[in-house]
Structure formats: C-alpha cells, structure tokens
Amino acid sequence: MLNNKVSVVYGAGGAIGGAVARAFAREGAKLFLTGHRRAPVEVVANEIVAAGGSAEAAEVNALDEPVVDKHLQSVIDKAGRVDISFNAIGIPDAKIVGVPLVELDAEQFSLPITAYATSYFLTARLAARRMVANKSGVIMTVTALLSRTGVPLVGGYGPAMATKEALTRNLSAELAPHGIRVIGLRPQAMPETSTIKEAFEPRAKATGVTWEQWQELLASRTHPRRLMTLAEMADVAVFMASDKASGMTGTTVNLTMGSLDD
C-alpha cells in the first residue's frame, strides 16, 4: 500500500513511532527514522532492514528547526522527495502529569502544549515546503482521547492534544489545495506501551487502583470491552498514509473504539 513512499518518522524509537515505522516498511515504504537518541531508533531500523525493508536511522531533535531542516534536506538528497511525515514524539509523563491543576506551576503546564505543538508545527511545515513541489504528500501525527474529554491530574496534556488536533485542521485547510493531506490518529490507551504504564502511576497513588483494574476500567468504556493493540493502530496509520485514503484530510481519526463519540 505504500510502495516506495519516502517516509520520515519522528520519535521512531518510541512505541507508536516504532510500530508505525514497521508497518510502513512492511507495506513497501522507504523509512527515514529519527529520534532524540539514536540507539532506540537504530534498533527499529536494523529490524526493518533485517526483514528486507529499507530504513535509515538518524538522531534528530524534533524541536530543533535547523536540525529537522538539515535532516529533511538529506532525505531529499538521497531519495529525491518526501511523501509522508509522521510525528510520533512523546514527552515523558513524569514531567507533565500527576499534579492537580490548582497546584501546577505555569512552566509545567505549558511544557506539553509548547513542545507538542511546536514539534508538530515544525516537522509539518518543513515537510510541506518540500511536498508542495510534488503537489503530493501526507502529514500525520498522533493525539489522545484527552483532547476531547476531561480527565483529572493530566496538567497541560489535554490542551496539548487539542492544540495538535486544531493544527491538523488548519494545516489541511492551507495545504490540501496543494495536494497535501493532513491526518491525525487518536488511539485509545494501548497497555503494551510503557507510556500507558507510566501514565497510570500517579493515578495508582491517587486512587489505589491496581494496573489490572485500571486496564479493565479503560476497556469497559470501549464498545468491544477491550483496548486496542499497537498493530491495530499501525494498520490504520498505513491506510491513512496510503493513496486509498485520498478522500481523508483535515481530521483526526477516532480510534477510541467507542470510548469517545464524535
């Protein structure tokens, strides 16, 4: 579905970035994988290459404009174009969640809003400048249910996710006339990721629920009464990145399995 699509993934050493990268590679994409630290990105790239795919790893801080720009130029120099940009970076929850809003200082509140919005803006803008020349491309990112629903003790994370979803709409409004689609994915919590275990810790302390009870509670809010897997999320990412989804832009795909109504 993604044969020879030149794809850049930011945060590719993470759970979602890694799963999306593997799924894109399986469908024939050429991957340029990036992350904060090179080592976890290299693990994913090596796995893809060992399976017969195409992947290169690079250390790129997705908040540093000149670094992102230089990396994208190197992609253009090697592959001739960029077809897909997927921003899957994640800020560690320990820096963001667990403090009631009335006690939260402004810096901690602003951190996720500034970091998530700026990184998505920078990676999208710099990719779009290259995509416009080909009159085609897909810009993607990932958000969470907290963009649209109230949850205690999550600080600025919900506003950060809502900001990214607004940016998806606005990017699309400007870029779709140039043949560039902009799509977000809003998955339900995937318990196989360390992110979700870390997000659970402050709740465990505040409420006394166990890890199993918390998973059951989240699952009980979905229609199939189970949480989604990384593989299921990545399969949707493949479809949305493919030409088969040419009718989709300016929206965030609701992957909450019924937990959140549109």
The one-letter code for the residue type at 18 is: G
63 binding ligand NAP? (CB under 6 A): yes
Stretch that binds ligand NAP, among 60-68, 70-78, 167-175, 201-209 (CB under 6 A): 60-68
Q: What binding mask, one character per residue, do residues 224-243 give for ligand NAP by CB under 6 A, x or -?
A: --------------------
Stretch that binds ligand NAP, among 22-30, 59-67, 173-181, 209-217 (CB under 6 A): 59-67
10 Å CB burial of residue 201 (0-12, 13-18, 19+) is: middle
193 binding ligand NAP? (CB under 6 A): yes
**Which strands sit side by side in the sheet containing 137-142, from one edge to the other?**
54-59, 30-35, 6-10, 84-87, 137-142, 180-187, 251-255
CA 66, 68, 69: angle at the middle one, nearest 5? 60
Nearer to ligand NAP, 3 or 239 (CB): 239
Residue with nearest beta carbon to ligand NAP:
14
Strand partners, 31: 7, 55
Nearer to ligand NAP, 134 or 229 (CB): 229
11 binding ligand NAP? (CB under 6 A): yes
> Quick check: 236 and 16 in contact, CB under 8 A?
no
88 binding ligand NAP? (CB under 6 A): yes
86 binding ligand NAP? (CB under 6 A): no
8 binding ligand NAP? (CB under 6 A): no
Which listed residue (21, 27, 40, 130) binds ligand NAP by CB under 6 A?
A: 40
